[in-house]
Structure 1
């Protein structure tokens, strides 16, 4: 192979583009031969192909073989080229990684636009690989590539990123002869040295911002940098002023590898290519390790989170839950700065935090404030790698660089923050959401339990403070077993709780004579029927009467227990029995009055009538009036005794009909009735008793306002309670009017007579009260008794014309 004269470049006939690129270049002779292609190969006789190719190469004796791809040469050509030590240059757009396994490739030029710059770089590479010095370097380079491939196994075996970093600088130093090199990994806003070659002083490397110096440029552009003279490179900011040249290679998106030297031009493109080859493997391995680490860390944290959830579940209040949440976030998720904001009263209130002393003291915030407000409004979790670049973020302090926001149901928002940017990733957000899902579930449980506790406390307080004896019980077969009694039960029945709880209540409180009744009650209760009945039970002071109200736990279905309340009605029953006895005596009295008094009165009235038929004596008229008054008195006594407080079945009564019926049974003289009732006015009443009530009111009005001479009337009614002030002179007397009308809650009866003085308005309803010499004093008393029997309220006032007005609220 000659080394003088023009460079003889052998090119296959199927690569005309390369021929045209180097055509007319001084010092270059293009040799084209079809044997180097694959079209003339004989697949049936590989040996013949090898011999043919070898003969061609020996005849042409080229300085270099130029190809356009790593796979453009036949295996036979590769073997022949390697056997003769002919360098091969690849001019291709394939990445250098594809050439790392092609040991026959000696040089590499990346194809760009096929223009002048490509030709210049290609000529430089051809001149370099064909020089005698380069031949030796290529042999060394080939050895280095081989050693790099061997070292890859060691790199692949790294179990942790830290182990990989150290192995990388060791390989760079031992295989690539890089004296000073380091691996820098991005951590937030900085590229932090993780491994440094042996012998490098502490000041030889330093932490740099991701946009600082040659390392920052390499990381930002993801492009390798070859610097022959550091002092002439405006981007370079060496850690040591003695550094004169260097190489900077990106480790994927993870960081930067750098090698430096105290000599200028210490590195060339071959060093750069070898470094890229090494770091390409490192980047792939680091990506795998990190992915495995993320999966392992995530799984570990998920496992620990589930364990931490047990701690959350133990919380008994919202405040305790929130405090436990920030502790779990710190100890398990490694979130140093966490906050929980509760939405309350139109603002966010910080209710829990876990933060170092330098953390910002966050106070109350509006509901629309920054990322926390948007998270709460939308319900969407937020991952903010760079808080200052996020338009929605509005940090309370400027010390935070990144953060996470997760909504806690309708309660509030959980936030985690870090000083540097990019401190959280999707895995952190996922774990935070998992944590908050546990918090949300626990919150619902706490709220439910709190409601149940409040309800239980209210029921317990109600049970204990019931003024009657109360007991809860459960059925054991057919036996009602006591579960709890209140204080009043202990007092009434005389059994302390610790004695009767767990016992059959019937054996303690049911008298023997009522055993069958109690058994029937128990059967009904077990069938889901509530009871409200009168019973007799054995107490500490003897057998007493009770109103028993028993409610099963579930109505209309098979029950296991219930609640019973014993209301002592013994005194009421005694009063009822006494009242019955009084009513019996009163009825007996009424019978006596009706028979023993009315008969002599009837005899006297009859004989007086006979005398008046034969004798015209004015002295007989007072006797007639007295007998008439005695008759009215007997009638009113009978009314009070038999009807005063007794009301029969009530129905819906038309008020106008009852009014006209009552008016028709009263001697009204010249008194006028005005009915001002609206059509269809009704009341719920005993019809006959309502008519009695109206009759007494009408008689009272007639007696007050009658224009007739009172001494000349024969039957004027017997409900006059006050002396008449009516003028006895017919020429000066006026007609009295009685009006019946509706009120807001009932009806009223009023007249335009003299009225009732305010001082007498309460007394007029008293039995026997009358200001008239011929009044019985019972009429208005009967009115009140009938009203009270209907549960109506009656009041007396002054009418619109100055007379008496009686209003009934029904």
Structure 2
């Protein structure tokens, strides 16, 4: 540092043949600022041009601890050069020459050795002897070779530990750097964790981690936060601020470089390089280039790992899909089939190739597709794992199958990749539900059925009881008992139907005429008469058949109003037909025109007595036996019910 032009020229000329580069600063503040920005290997102070030499030396030591600092005097008539201890003076070119020798000896011809520290924007490489220039060129070639070797060895790297080994081995191959290690940045723990790919050959004990963010490791933190390389020189007092500072200092390390291993999106870690001498700009550039190459490889490894993880997840889904008994599929984010299993192929009738790549609308109508999309949006918004949707699947032949779909979304790493669906054929379940619903409807009607069916035998029993009380005739008492027995039989039938849901239990050959006459005795028939035109043997549950005939007779008497005769007989069929059917008809007013379409509906009633309940029981008993029943008009204008008992 000198403000005297002749002094600057004298020193520069004396260093023309030395293997150093010279940069100039004319003011102390410029020198200090330049020390902050650049790597300076030695400082020369023009003591005669600086007012406070000790203060300037103190500033140099503060910014670059351990940097050789030399003072130079040039007074008229006196010769002498003081190097380091400010004890003598020099006044001619010989002293400048001795100063040049001292600089070379102190810096050991380190490239970029700076004479006169400064902050000017231009760096003046004022000359070097041919031998020195050749040495600099060779050292630069060595750094380029180092970077190239790193790049070549990282071409096939597939793991972070390989990256660590390549950087460590190449950076420490030779005597340029004393040691190097690579550490991973754990974002969750906010720590740097050294990688140990080869603990047997690693001389330094690296089994520890470094917390970042608390200010204890400024070099590591600056590299992580800024994404740029940082270097420093340090002495014994600063060893705590350097990773493994104690160990490094004991091994002669005096400067450290920390380079980030990172991309623009994500920090992966740091590379820490130690040197016994000052790390030059060219060495910083070489470290930066080598770690940049490593960063790109780490990014590739990370991307490959995420891709493989996604493929493994998809493969697991595919295996699940293939082995499941239910129909399963995977849709991409746009709703196109990526995977289908054998069960879905079998259900739909399509080939696997016929479904893959097709939109979900090939199997489901637009409303079901829209409902599925709505469920997927809901799952993504709420974070729930699955939801269920009932839909209809259309097979390739055009048949429709009611299905229940269990839907889940694929969101590895928070990115929506598609959905998974499990289809289950619910035809049988819906059939059972329908049967249960119908059974429940029947059970709901049992209260009305009991009151309806018990009314006839109860009326008969009450009538005979009145006669018994008036006359004391034992025959009336017997008739009363018969009515009560019939009531008990009806109650047993209703309980059996409620428990078993069957309107025909055990069937046996039953004579139509005798059963009809017994049923007639259980009904209050007023002045009407029963006419049996013939008989036939039926395979029937006799108790249930009695209830069928009783309800037919009661309907004719109570709702016919003018009925005088009720007829029962076999249907006219081919004589070869051993079973055939039968009819029940009357000569009353006939069936109401507005009721013929729903005569057997239990909710329909034409009077307070309940026409619908009685005829509903008739239909249920007939259906329970496997018979069909139809209503029409008799020849006399009354109601006629025909029961077909053949298949």
TM-score of the two chains, using structure 2 as the length reference: 0.40
**Which structure would you say has the larger Rg?**
1
Higher normalized contact order (CA 8 Å, seq sep 6+, divided by chain length)? 2
